[in-house]
Chains A and B, each alone.
Chain A
Amino acid sequence: MTATPPVSQPAVEALEETRARHGLLRYAATKAGGALVSIAMVIVATFFLFRLLPGDPVRALAQGRNMTPEQLDLERARLGLDKSLPEQFVQFVKQTLQFDLGTSYEYKRPVLDLIGERIGSTLLLTGTALVMAVSLGIWQGARAGWKPGSRFDKFSTAISLVLWSVPTFWLGLLLLMVFAAGVGPIPGVFPTRGISSVDAPEGFAYVLDVAQHMVLPCLTMVAVVYAQYLLVMRSSVLDEVGQDYITTARAKGLRDDDIRRRHAVPNALLPTVTLVFMRIGFVVGGAVTVEAIFSWPGLGQLFYEAIRVPDFTLMQGTFLLITASVIVMNTLADVVYHLLDPRVRSA
């Protein structure tokens, strides 16, 4: 053992504790700094990326109405599109730094308001789907990895991979056809579009109505993504199975199920937690495809509509929000990982 230090033991421990805390703060600060740089770069990229899109927003908004070149120029000046690109860029950065995302060309309303209206339904759909996909994936992955090669393992891994390979729009349309439109003897039990019925009832019945609308889009999203949680969980449980501490726990008389629950799964969760946090970022963005198929009034659909115009300010706003939330969640994932793993914590 090491020689006794000249300082008293409690003092040493207190010192180590403050050092560890400072370490975490410094780590979090570094990560946050990195995230800020990324967001700054995204702001720049956002502006120039969308200017590359074909199409003239002014003509698109005119929607074939006969307009004189003077009228078009006037409209262009109103949207600020008459200025040079550098001038527009400076204007955009100034506004963005003041959290002003501009006014949508198409809706003629502040982008922030539009996002505010849509974000709730997106969070509801993608959040629910994420929770379901993560729980399903972790549960199946932990069992599959614990007994690799078992029937459960082969079966669940194969099914998840088939669903993973299926294109989202195809599965979504298939589900729409079978369960919403109805095929042959199967009646269409679920609504085909939207978040609630036109004659939406009040109170609890409304909740049920929304839930019914959510079943198919949610199912589609879960089916297509849960394989990644399953596979990450499976392989990290597999890594733990051969570990000596699992053998030691078994030799102490711990039951197999308890070894899995108390030792293998908590250790195997670390990589999965990181993955989940990265995915939370994407929750904000929603799933453009799923929202478009099921006409879900969320951010994904808003973005999809904005591309068609192209509505520069609306696209910039939604894109910026989506990317920023992915970056923020990635940073959080790093910090959380740090907190969860004692080995990384003191390093």
Chain B
Amino acid sequence: MLEATEVAVEFASRGRRARAVDGVNLSIGAGEIVALVGESGCGKTTLARTLLGLERPTSGQVSYDGTPLSYTGRRLRAFRRQVQLVLQDPMGSLNPRQTVYEAVAEGPRIHGLPDEEEVVASALSRAGLRPPERFFLRYPHELSGGQRQRVVIAGALALSPKLLIADEPVASLDASVRGEILALLLRLRDELGLAALVVTHDLGLAWNIADRVAVMYLGRIVESGSTEEVLTNPQHPYTQALLSVLPESPQRIVLSGEPPDPTRIPTGCRFHPRCQLVAAGKGADACHTTPLPVLPPTTTGSEVACHLAQVPTPR
């Protein structure tokens, strides 16, 4: 449904060019929940913004239902109805001077939807705020964190989108509320067929909610596949390292080396300076010299971008 093809996004940073996203293929099918996992600064938020059309790719393209995204007003606006955004901090995502009703009604007003009040009420109740009328005149600061995030989700739902892009949707919420919001996303998928791209650094979250996982490192997706494949049988040393720090993991892999810098992408495999296998002397020459190809978008099999991993068998 939503597809990124060879997308690269560059920023000028202190005279140097930072490639925040450096060639990414990613596709999200209808009704599918995909988790985009990676550490801070790996480009996952930039990728999400690019998928939303908030950022224009330097090269490559984003397409929706096979049509490349157009960045001119009218058609971009039509696209915006289909793909909606949920951000990490619900307090910041809501205008503090707007009531819940105003916040949720904004989308329908922009797009001129009829029966505004009904749309707002149904969006609120689908987001779990019932009875909706009780919340109409509330201000964001009068609500709890979980309720605020529900209002943000209701604001997105009011446009009946096909896809939700959620950037760390529960990272700023209490643990107990976290589960409720995740359950809400799953319920919306079941009831409305709403697909979602969940951007997170939390593998546990990916495990709980996602059908597929894409692991991102320094602007590239280094491993992708079904959640179970990737998280129980990780092929890429980076994914293995990420998983090893979960509490239930028997042994921790601590990555050494400098944190990645998108203005200086290493030669060869971009992960090799921090790779625990290379550090243990198990690396190959190719790790230092040969760049890896960009992974193709998958909706079924698993892919891994590593010289040392076995060629993935089609599953």
> Which residue numbers of A lie inside 8 Å of B, CB to CB?
1-2, 9, 243-245, 247-255, 263, 266-267, 341-343, 346
Contact = CB atoms under 8 A, between A and B. Distances in A.
A166 B147 CA distance: 52
Contacts of B84: 251-252
B85 A254 contact: no
Interface stretch (B24-32, B72-80, B290-298): B72-80
B282 interface: no
A345 B84 CA distance: 32
Given A253-B111, A254-B106, A342-B141, A245 B147 contact: no
B141 A251 contact: no
B141 A343 contact: yes
Contacts of B52: 251
B14 interface: no
B107 A253 contact: yes
A341 B97 contact: yes
Contact of A267 (B80, B88, B97): B97
A252 B141 contact: no
A247 B87 contact: yes
Given A244-B87, A247-B85, A252 B97 contact: no
A2 B135 CA distance: 13
7 contacts: A1-B147, A248-B87, A250-B54, A251-B85, A254-B110, A342-B139, A343-B141
A122 to B, nearest CB: 35
Interface string B94-120: 111100000000110011000000000
Contacts of A247: 54, 85, 87, 93
Nearest to B83: A251
Given A251-B84, A343-B141, A267 B95 contact: yes
B285 interface: no
Contacts of B95: 245, 249, 263, 267
A253 B81 contact: yes
A247 B80 CA distance: 12
A253 B80 contact: yes
Contacts of A248: 85, 87, 93-94, 152, 155
B80 A252 contact: yes
B93 A252 contact: no
B229 interface: no
B107 A244 contact: no
Given A244-B93, A346-B142, A252 B155 contact: yes
A255 B109 CA distance: 12
Most buried by A among B54, B106, B139: B106
B134 interface: yes
B159 interface: yes
Contacts of A251: 52, 54, 80, 84-85
Contacts of A253: 76-77, 80-81, 107, 110-111
B155 A255 contact: no
Most buried by A among B52, B92, B94: B92
Contacts of B211: none
A315 B152 CA distance: 59
A346 B138 CA distance: 11
A266 B97 contact: yes
Interface in B126-143: 134, 139, 141-142
Nearest to B131: A9
Given A244-B87, A245-B92, A247-B85, A252 B142 contact: no
